[in-house]
Chains A and B, each alone.
Chain A
Amino acid sequence: MTGDSTHFGLTDAFRLGLRYIRGRGQAPVNIASISLASAFYAYIALMRIGTQTLRTYRLWLLFVAVVVAAVSMATVMLISVYERYREIGVLKCLGALDRHVFLLLIVEALIQGLIGGGIGILLGSISTLISNTSISLSGINYLALSSTLLLSTLISIVSSLYPAYRAMRLNPIEALRYEV
């Protein structure tokens, strides 16, 4: 036996993560909550007008939207980990290390965050263009808009840290005894 260990890189995590996102029901829920918060952020980032009170009010709403999205995502990810308890145990039986399992879940969160952010950008800019005729497509602040993706991936990854940690620490023997 050698001192070599097992492998599971970023590409592998993306491949398997995409299968899980496509094959399971929870992804749309996560993507919806992330895209709503992102749409709101994109809208605020573009609409730099209004009175001070209006802007503060909007920021509060954004804060609430972000918290709601993060809590929802954390809950759904935790459910997804429990539903896959046995499968994660199987992965460990087949040679997955703790950090491989962690990586898989974080990558799943990242993918959903990016998709949600993309949809949010679209929704946010459309609603800005509709509600404010003084802003045209060419006048959009694209830098502010792309920072939406930063926010969306941040929400999804941060809220998945604990679920991913739980998945990583799961004991394969118990997981395999676990009846769903």
Chain B
Amino acid sequence: MKSEPLIEVVDLARYYEMAGTIIKALDGVNLEFYRGEYVSIVGPSGSGKTTLFNLIGGLDRPTRGKVYVDGVDLAELDAYELAWLRCRKIGYIFQNFNLIGVLTALENVALPTVFAGLPWEEGLKKAEELLRLVGLGDRLGHLPSELSAGQQQRVAIARAMVNDPDIILADEPTGNLDHETGRRIIGLLQRLNREREVTIIAATHDVEMIKGSDRVVWLRDGRVEKIEVR
């Protein structure tokens, strides 16, 4: 199975300086992610999960080390290329869904296709397909405020998928959901991972949510504690 990794993280470090003291949010992390994998990142609060995602997604620059996506060193990309990466290569899913409040479910899902340069009508068509895929075909015209938490997260999943990214970064996607809904969201992500061969990296601090992962990376204090292959 092991070919070229899709994402390669080499000696990655991100320090913050706060009132004279240095906080090592990440401190020398080495990781590889392969195409089609479902990887869970587990670690207590403050262990560096979000920091790692920000660096992989090109939202933040590391203090030390490298991130390669598809063999490309993110440090070499300018703001335009990073925006393209975030738009086309990576899909984001957040703990608090982060939908646009004034847009309907359909428009929320179609929004990233605008940045990808697709005509609006085509984007809407693609969005509708995806909303059906996540079981929300009857909620197209609803605003986020008219949807349940689980439904909002399914809209967010559809939005993350709409530009056919290679990678989905899900930062505690079940953190704001009750247990049963959370399990169903993870089930949906794993189904999309198998059916669409999208690489999913999901952060959590709930060990209940790591069932069915190909690998589990345990983070602690900005370092990889262990990697468990399942």
A interface residues (Cβ-Cβ under 8 A, vs B): 1-8, 11-12, 15-16, 19-20, 22-24, 86-87, 90-98, 100, 172-173, 176
A-B contact count (CB 8 A): 85
User: Which residue in chain A gives the minimum CB-CB distance to B91?
Assistant: A94
B227 within 8 Å of A (CB atoms): no
Docked complex Cα distance between A20 and B143 (Å): 13
15 inter-chain pairs at a CB distance below 8 angstroms, sorted by A residue, are A1-B69, A1-B85, A1-B89, A6-B117, A16-B103, A23-B102, A86-B98, A90-B100, A92-B59, A92-B86, A93-B86, A95-B87, A97-B79, A100-B115, A176-B94
Q: When the two chains form their complex, are residues B85 and A7 in contact, meaning their CB atoms are under 8 A apart?
A: no
Cα distance A97–B117 when bound, in Å? 13
A6 in contact with B79 (CB, 8 Å) = no
For B120, list chain A residues within 8 Å (CB): 11-12, 15
Say which one of B106-114, B180-188, B211-219 lies at the interface with A: B106-114
Chain A binding surface SS class: helix
Query: Would you call B86 and A95 a contact (CB within 8 A)?
Result: yes
* Partner pick for B83 among A2, A5, A22, CB 8 A cutoff: A5
Q: Is the CB of A7 within 8 A of B116?
A: yes
Q: Other than the known A1-B77, A16-B103, what 5 A-B pairs have Cβ atoms closer than 8 Å?
A: A7-B114, A24-B102, A86-B98, A95-B86, A97-B79
Answer whether A2 and B84 are a contact pair too, CB < 8 Å, given A7-B115, A12-B114, A94-B115: yes
Are B103 and A19 closer than 8 Å at their CB atoms? yes
Most A-side CB within 10 Å, residue of B69, B83, B116:
B83
